[in-house]
Amino acid sequence: MCSVTGDSLPASGGGGGQLVEWHNPLDNKLLACLPDAEWQRWKPQLERVDLPLGKVLYESGAQQDFVYFPTSAIVSLLYVLEDGSSAEIAVVGLEGLVGVSVFMGGGSTPSHAVVQSAGEGYRLRANAFLGEFELSSAVSHLVLRYTQALITQMSQTAVCNRHHSLEKQFGRWLLLSLDRLPGNEVVMTQELISNMLGVRREGVTEAALKLQAAGIIHYARGHIWVLDRPALEHRACECYRVVKQEYDRLLPAVEAI
């Protein structure tokens, strides 16, 4: 079990070099699970970054210069077709990292990485991360287990999109987002959700209204509040449970001190 300490990194703010304290980098569960020797090497190299809604972290086929560790943002991994339509294949938040192709040997990927829920994170230069991956067996084992969990999410998303109703897909998407946020609120317009799921906006509206009528969520002006999570889990398909169990199995739990 990993322990999270209150060891935050300062970042330079505007106005006279004043230091501003941001989210603790150890809010990211992978960073929190680094052994102390590795953490001490990484700490001075981590750079705090704002991750506003819609920010593109990498594009299809582009060389990836950084690996990102979200702390309060959610990043969507998307495939975009020639006609401009898109579909989400996975989400990444405080449980993981963005940029697995850096250490998997490809250096690039045909997917896009776009911030779907604004927040903050930290980044490490790709060459520094690759050096740590090759140097430390603890780092390589940790991130490869994470990658296996991420592949499970991608595979299950493909199955879900093919075989399950939009309402069940929407429930799965909401639950995965909630797991990566501190509260019960998801800030996301129906248009953005429809782009993520690769469906028509009217379908998202219908699915949201059904869940709202059942008292499971409340939706207003791009904000979704989950009022009854157990009921949402019951209404969602088994894909969410499969993905959640795999993340829990492969990644260490994080205990706050």
Helix (H) or strand (E) holding 77: strand 74-80
Name the residue with higher pLDDT: 193 or 68: 68
Per residue in 142-177, pLDDT (tens digit) is 999 999 999 999 998 888 878 888 788 888 888 998
Type of residue numbered 251: L
How far is 184 from 178, CA to CA, in rounded Å? 6
Give, in words, the CATH class of 2-161+243-256.
mainly beta
Short-list 173, 184, 188, CA closest to 227:
184
**Could you tell me the pLDDT band of residue 1, with boundaries at 50, 70 and 90?**
low
List the one residue out of 78, 11, 86 whose CA is nearest residue 48: 11
Rounded to whole angstroms, how far apart are CA atoms 104 and 257? Answer: 33
Query: What is the pLDDT at residue 173?
Result: 86
Q: What is the average pLDDT score of the chain?
A: 84
8 Å CB contact between 115 and 53: yes
Question: pTM of the entire structure?
Answer: 0.84
**Residue percentage of the chain with pLDDT more than 70:** 87
Burial of 208 (0-12, 13-18, 19+ CB in 10 A): buried
Q: HSE of 138 in the Cβ direction (CA atoms, 13 Å)? A: 12
Q: How far apart are the C-alpha atoms of 43 and 49, rounded to whole Å?
A: 14
Question: Looking at residue 4, what is its pLDDT?
Answer: 52
Class (C level, CATH) for 165-236? mainly alpha
Among 198, 190, 255, which Cα is nearest to 222's? 190
What pLDDT is stored for residue 237 in this prediction? 84
Domain boundaries of the chain, sorted by first residue = 2-161+243-256, 165-236
Q: What phi and psi, each to the nearest 5 degrees, are found at residue 177?
A: -65, -45
Q: Is the pLDDT of residue 29 over 50?
A: yes
